[in-house]
Structure 1
Amino acid sequence: METYSAYNVAVVLFAAFGSLFAGYGLAVIVSTLGQPTFYSSLNLAVTGSHTTAIIGAANGVFFAGGFFGCLISAWAVEGLGRLNGLRLAAVIGVIGSAIQTGAVNQGMYLAARVITGVSVGQVFTAMPTYFSEVSPPHSRGLMAGAHGSFVNAGYALAAWVGFACFHASGSSFGWRFPNAVLLIFALCVLAGTFFIPESPRWLCARGRDQEALQILCRLHHDKADPEDHFAHRELGLIKKQLDADKAAVLADGKWQLFTKETYRKRMILALMLMIGGQNVGVLVINNYNTLLYQSLGLSTSEALIVGAAYNTWAMIGNFVGAMVSDRLGRRKALLGGYIANVAMFTIATALIAKYSETTSKSYAAAALTFLFLYVTAYGGAIDPNQYTVCAEIFPSHLRSMGTGLAVSGLFLADTLWLQLASTAMATIGWKYYLVFLCLGVVHTIFLYFKLPETSGLALEEIDALFGKAAAGHIQDEELEKVAATHYDTKVQGSEGETSEVQA
């Protein structure tokens, strides 16, 4: 099977509202900090140590909330279902974004940031898990890569909305409306969960085999495969793997993610991927890009439009990277992305350092050029693949927990770096970036030795890459027999005729 159904694409695009919400929720603080009325609305001076502390706290508590959101989601999407877990995140997002939009003092705003952070953390865990489980193996990089792509689309949209509202900066509308858009996206996510199917793997694990079959037949239907052999083969793989996983749980206990070597290897790899994506400094640049560009001599308006262009370019890179992920392979993309990312950031940091000494516009322009090249490497190679690998390397019964813990590492790393950023940039300036350069080298070396190639494999076949025999390594004909023993693929029509199950 070399194509994927239009229904599959529609499901992924509709579900991507969750990723759009998460990206916008991460980025809305950027344009908020560029609006003069934000400071006056919350009784903050435009500059000063107290303002610096509040800005750091607004970022820090958001990512602290995101950390706990990941842990909540790891339980919710496994215990309640992938869709119910996403619904819970959307409801919390509605509450948080409403309070954030209407905040009238510093405490209220910070409390809202915690709540929206919890919601965004939940979505960051739920979406990669969901995408990976509804995508066919040959296009999982494209479809699961939609998470990173739409997160960046949220970043770009937040930047452009913020720039547009800067021209209405005479009132609090300038910063409240961009936050209100986050509320709209949260409502869209909640509504969308009633139009997309549950994960067939989660259904199989709950004994709801017939529902799983119907969904897989719709997700993977192809005119060249009218009997849905591909769906039956995948169901056979799922069932065999679930049987093996149940036996493993009985033998090794529910904490096997930490007690079994094969799963510990995956947990360490997933953590290094998610933490590594932040240890190269991408979010520090994104969340403080208005302040960074102003330090390079741009006015507030110019800084906002350059920031919007920067995030738009990152979004384009993400979509292109997702489209070539399956063809290029996850390993080549991630290693190439890290190498190029570190190289571009090294040059950009040197140029920023030179500008701080000379204030020459030529150095500022060159620094901006290499920052754009930096995000090209990140958006085109790292971002669309890190979430995909993080979710696909875990088996179904551990996927939500493994993904949740790994993504929580992302939020912990960002809590640290963003909490330090406002003070560090005010005191040591460009030297703060040297930390990220060193960490980028460390993560590149680790991934070179530890990252296998996962593209093109069914989720149930990835076990073999980590020293565990895959239960699904049997012939296609046998897999269809396995499916046939568990799934009734025919139903009786109203007049006693046999007809195909319709999803």
Structure 2
Amino acid sequence: METYSFYNVSVVLFAAFGSLFTGYSSAIIVQTVGQPSWYKSLNLESDTTAPRYSHTTTIIGASNGVFFAGGTLGCLIGGWFGDKLGRVNGFRVAATVGIIGAAIQTGATNQAMWLVGRVITGLATGQTMAAMPTYFSEVSPPHSRGLMAGAHGSFINIGFALAGWIGFGCFFESNSSFGWRFPNAVLALWGLCLLAGSFFVPESPRWLVSKGQDAKALEILCKLHHDPADIEDHFAHRELRLIKSQLEVNHQLITELGQWQLFTIPTYRRRSILGFVLMMGGQNIGVLVINNYNTLLYESLGLSNMQSLAVSAAYNTWAAFANMGGATVSDRLGRRKALLIGYAGCIVMFVVATGLIAKFSVNASKHYAAAAVTFLFLYVFFYGAFIDVNQYTVATEIFPSHLRSQGSSYSLAAFFLTDVLWVDLAATAQAKIGWKYYLVFIILGTAHLIHLWFKLPETSGLALEEIDALFGKEQIATDAEEPGEKGVVVEEEREA
């Protein structure tokens, strides 16, 4: 029976600093807007009844908008860096950009400087968002890819939780700018950890084979997938043969069909659409609007500023535990079933929570507030355990090796573009129409559930080179009997 080695797990955990950076950088705005000293430092009005608060709302919306705009660009260039420089060098570029952005964000003395820092950290976050799941998928054996690649979503949620508790702790130093500057400075620490960790993780074997470094790739595969019951590393040799035969066909396809086959070939186009819609769906169901504005949401339910920060931190900690639990069952449950359960559960919980928030808006009862918060916690359980832990894995593994970095980066760019829309609108929408804003996400979430029911195949347990058949294309690379033999190549199935 195949197992994954301690070395394999340690590599994923080391690389997961990139995922931690992604989550922390996305979440830190929640704690920042909950710190009174932030408003004072940037000359913003914190009183929601004051005439100038509309400008504050604009800046809060812009803080999220420019961050996710930078993230969109980061996803696109992150995929390019991963292909041209290697996966690990891509980590180093992202870490360096992130450290610079975190320093500017932390030291901001005016609104313009703050927004510049947000753009740069968004750029780095987009790079890590695209780079990490690709890397995790490429160093994980098929039978445990859900757990290994699921580390991306798990550590994103750990980043959210850490941002919450650090922000809550710093609230008690809210009389000085330390209250908001220190939590932002911690972001630079995660960037430094990623940069340092990049010198201890191996390059992706698939990328090395694409550059003709077969011996080095085999050495890494043997370490990654070593099994005491397989002392001669037959599994690693088999995987190398699959990778080599697949890449030979990939090179031929690129020569014949060009660089834009992701959009011109029907089988790849279907995968692109699925990847786009899947990553958009994860945001169209409303999770990031709740995350990025939950302190404001909790305040609207009658909680104090300090209570809102504490509940927000607890919410993200609960999500992190749900995500880690979901990762352990991802391979057994299957990606398709998990995602369908997640969407259905989120929709039901969000419907109830929205109804309770609507009731609270006309009858400010603590019972309604407590019930609404409870159902939001149930909502994020379904999201963390079933959606978040699987969406990044699927958006990466559905693409063939020669298009994986490009395809997954485009899918994750759709993730950020969706966020640009929703979080930029959220502050104003919540101020103008309140709970009615959440109806949009209930409707969109239902539409995505229907789409996934009909279009999402099961990818669990298959080698990355074996997923082609799920999308109307015959497997184009098969195993060979001996390490020196060439894999069997089958002509691509053409669609009418």
TM-score bin, normalised by smaller chain? over 0.9
Matched residue of 2:469: which SS? helix
In the aligned structure 1, how far is the partner of 2:470 from the partner of 2:76? 27
Say yes or no: does 1:233 pair with 2:244.
Answer: no
The residue aligned with 1:83 is: 88
The residue aligned with 1:496 is: none
Matched residue of 2:173: which SS? coil
Which of 97, 101, 105 is the matching residue for 1:100?
105
- Counterparts of residues 17-416 of structure 1 (less than 5 Å): 17-47=17-47, 48-416=53-421
Indicate conservation of the 8 Å contact 1:232/1:483, yes or no: no
Indicate conservation of the 8 Å contact 1:336/1:381, yes or no: yes
The residue aligned with 1:482 is: 485
- Counterparts of residues 380-459 of structure 1 (less than 5 Å): 380-459=385-464
Matched residue of 2:46: which SS? coil
Indicate conservation of the 8 Å contact 2:478/2:487, yes or no: no
Q: Deviations over 1:300-320 (max 9, x none)?
A: 111111001100000001000
In the aligned structure 2, how far is the partner of 1:399 from the partner of 1:479? 27
| Displacement of 1:285 | 0.2
Indicate conservation of the 8 Å contact 1:74/1:125, yes or no: yes
| Displacement of 1:473 | 3.5
In the aligned structure 2, how far is the partner of 1:450 from the partner of 1:152? 27
In the aligned structure 2, how far is the partner of 1:478 from the partner of 1:326? 28
Matched residue of 2:481: which SS? helix
Say yes or no: does 1:461 pair with 2:463.
Answer: no
| Displacement of 1:286 | 0.3
In the aligned structure 1, how far is the partner of 2:280 from the partner of 2:453? 16
In the aligned structure 2, how far is the partner of 1:336 from the partner of 1:478? 41
In the aligned structure 2, how far is the partner of 1:479 from the partner of 1:57? 58
In the aligned structure 2, how far is the partner of 1:198 from the partner of 1:144? 16
In the aligned structure 1, how far is the partner of 2:364 from the partner of 2:103? 42
| Displacement of 1:240 | 1.1
Indicate conservation of the 8 Å contact 2:133/2:392, yes or no: yes
Indicate conservation of the 8 Å contact 1:233/1:483, yes or no: no
In the aligned structure 1, how far is the partner of 2:280 from the partner of 2:134? 18
Indicate conservation of the 8 Å contact 1:141/1:388, yes or no: yes
In the aligned structure 2, how far is the partner of 1:399 from the partner of 1:124? 14
Q: Aligned partner of 1:306: which letter?
A: V
| Displacement of 1:86 | 1.1
| RMSD (CA atoms) | 1.2
In the aligned structure 1, how far is the partner of 2:293 from the partner of 2:29? 9
Q: TM-score, normalised by structure 2?
A: 0.96
In the aligned structure 1, how far is the partner of 2:487 from the partner of 2:8? 23
The residue aligned with 1:500 is: none
Matched residue of 2:399: which SS? coil
Q: Deviations over 1:404-429 (max 9, x none)?
A: 10000010000000000010000000
Q: Aligned partner of 2:13: which letter?
A: L
| Displacement of 1:170 | 1.1
In the aligned structure 2, how far is the partner of 1:185 from the partner of 1:482? 44
Q: Aligned partner of 1:461: which letter?
A: E
In the aligned structure 1, how far is the partner of 2:397 from the partner of 2:411? 12
Number of matched pairs: 483
In the aligned structure 1, how far is the partner of 2:91 from the partner of 2:9? 19
Structure 1 residue runs of 5 or longer lacking an equivalent are 486-503
In the aligned structure 1, how far is the partner of 2:31 from the partner of 2:256? 52
Q: Aligned partner of 1:247: which letter?
A: Q
- The more displaced of 347-356 and 246-255 is 246-255
The residue aligned with 1:489 is: none
Q: TM-score, normalised by structure 1?
A: 0.95
In the aligned structure 2, how far is the partner of 1:77 from the partner of 1:252? 22
Matched residue of 2:3: which SS? coil
In the aligned structure 2, how far is the partner of 1:483 from the partner of 1:281? 48
Indicate conservation of the 8 Å contact 1:241/1:470, yes or no: no
| Displacement of 1:481 | 4.5
Q: Aligned partner of 1:30: which letter?
A: V
In the aligned structure 1, how far is the partner of 2:360 from the partner of 2:386? 29
| Displacement of 1:472 | 2.9
Indicate conservation of the 8 Å contact 1:329/1:455, yes or no: yes
Q: Deviations over 1:428-465 (max 9, x none)?
A: 00000000000000100000011000010000000111
| Displacement of 1:247 | 1.3
| Displacement of 1:387 | 0.1
